[in-house]
Amino acid sequence: MKVFGQADEALHAPRFFLMRGRLRDNYEVPARAAALREGLARCGLAPEEAPPATRAEVEALHAPDYLDFLATAHAEWAAMPEAGEEVVANIHPSPEMLAQSPCAARHPISRAGRFTADTACPIGPGTFAAAMGAAGCALAAAEAVAQGAAGAAYALCRPPGHHAYAARAGGHCYLNNSALAAQRLRARGAARVAVLDIDSHHGNGTQGLFWERGDVLTVSLHADPARYYPWYVGFPEERGAGPGLGANLNLPLPFGAEDAAWLAGLDQGLAALRAFRPEALVVALGFDASEHEPLAALRVTAEGFARAGAAIGALRLPTAICQEGGYNVDVLGDLLARFLTGFGNAR
Ligand SMILES: [Zn+2]
């Protein structure tokens, strides 16, 4: 298996995080990548340095004005008097505003509100470079798989990506790495590509990007959004639209679900995936379903992740695995090693 990482990851060290009205330390930290590298080392794997994504590569899915915003947001923000150290929006255009005005956003504050969904995606001086680097890792993994250089490849993406839409950051995510990998696999000839998201949060950005497309199946296994981020989407009724109708499957699980329920949900997702007959697969791999997560929405064990790896590996599809969430740095390395070992043994 080829694995890809990037040095610019460490340039993104977000601090702002708001939970239930309380300011907390942000937990999407560079130490996560160090823990994941340890897990790779345990499998005898060392990441190759991936080149950062180019502007043209990310424009395959992201809007030019949004990319302009990400590239310039921090410098513009820092030039304001009494600016905080990171870009964090304090207003978003509401549907009522948008119905009455195009809301041309030219000020750093209005631009931040227009292009971010929440307060969990602070932008610092190194955020854009790190996000382009993470996207580069995902694209390198997809390329290795598409060219047959590897049957499977892993991208150590940090920041993660599955909450990012075409023109909106949110939930620690800026560029949708998994979706960019899927798009690259399509561009390299796979007629149908599936994205299987096992992060504990619904992959709302990925769902949004492929909502009206029938060539990319999106499956997300996650904790019930009625009680959990992203709150407004991730329910079973959301099936896609137009040519994409039926090509989106949400599998929310009750809070506290353990291995048996999580793996049964995964089986449901894999059945839908087999019926779609994809020629390539992207796994959006989060470890925040772990029983050791700070928020502990789900209670999956290390053995559960090994079994998930085995079930996904047994599909024997060309597979690009993109890292998403997982925030307990004490267990991340072990969970990655267990998942990849299960995956590799099943192929
Ligand atoms: Zn997550």
104 Cα–ligand 1 center, Å:
32
> Which H, E and C letters describe 139-183, residue by residue?
HHHHHHHHCCCCCEEEECCCCCCCCCECCEEECCECCCHHHHHHH
pLDDT band (50, 70, 90) for residue 150: confident
Give the integer Cα–Cα distance in Å for 283 and 146.
15
Q: Of the residues 163, 172, 202, 292, which is catalytic?
A: 163
> How many other C-beta atoms can be found within 10 angstroms of the C-beta atom of residue 119?
15
Structure tokens at 91: 């207003």
pLDDT band (50, 70, 90) for residue 260: very high
| Averaged pLDDT for residues 115-125 | 98
223 Cα–ligand 1 center, Å:
10
221 Cα–ligand 1 center, Å:
11
Would you list the DSSP string of 71-136? HHHHHHHHTSTT--SSB--S----HHHHHH------SHHHHHHHHBSSSS--B-TTHHHHHHHHHH
Structure tokens at 176: 């949708």
Q: What is the pLDDT of residue 103?
A: 74
pLDDT tens, position by position, 278-337? 999 999 999 999 999 988 899 999 999 999 999 999 999 999 999 999 999 999 999 999
pLDDT tens, position by position, 57-106? 999 999 999 999 999 999 999 999 999 999 999 999 999 998 998 877 89
Query: Which percentage of the chain shows pLDDT scores above 90?
Result: 96
Q: What is the pLDDT of residue 7?
A: 94
Residue 149 has pLDDT above 90, yes or no: no
Query: Which percentage of the chain shows pLDDT scores above 70?
Result: 100
Q: What is the pLDDT of residue 272?
A: 98
286 Cα–ligand 1 center, Å:
6
pLDDT tens, position by position, 153-172? 999 999 999 999 999 999 99
- Please name every residue paired with 168 in a beta bridge, in sequence order, or none if there are none: 165
| Domains along the chain with CATH numbers | 2-54+121-346 (3.40.800.20)
Catalytic residue status for 163 = yes
20 Cα–ligand 1 center, Å:
17
Pairing state between β 248-253 and 216-223: parallel
303 Cα–ligand 1 center, Å:
19
92 Cα–ligand 1 center, Å:
23
99 Cα–ligand 1 center, Å:
32
For 48, counting Cβ atoms within 10 Å of its Cβ (0-12 exposed, 13-18 middle, 19+ buried), the class is: middle
Q: What is the pLDDT of residue 299?
A: 98
pLDDT tens, position by position, 173-211? 999 999 999 999 999 999 999 999 999 999 999 999 999
The pTM of the full predicted model, rounded to 2 decimals, is 0.98
Q: What is the mean pLDDT of the chain?
A: 97
pLDDT band (50, 70, 90) for residue 137: very high
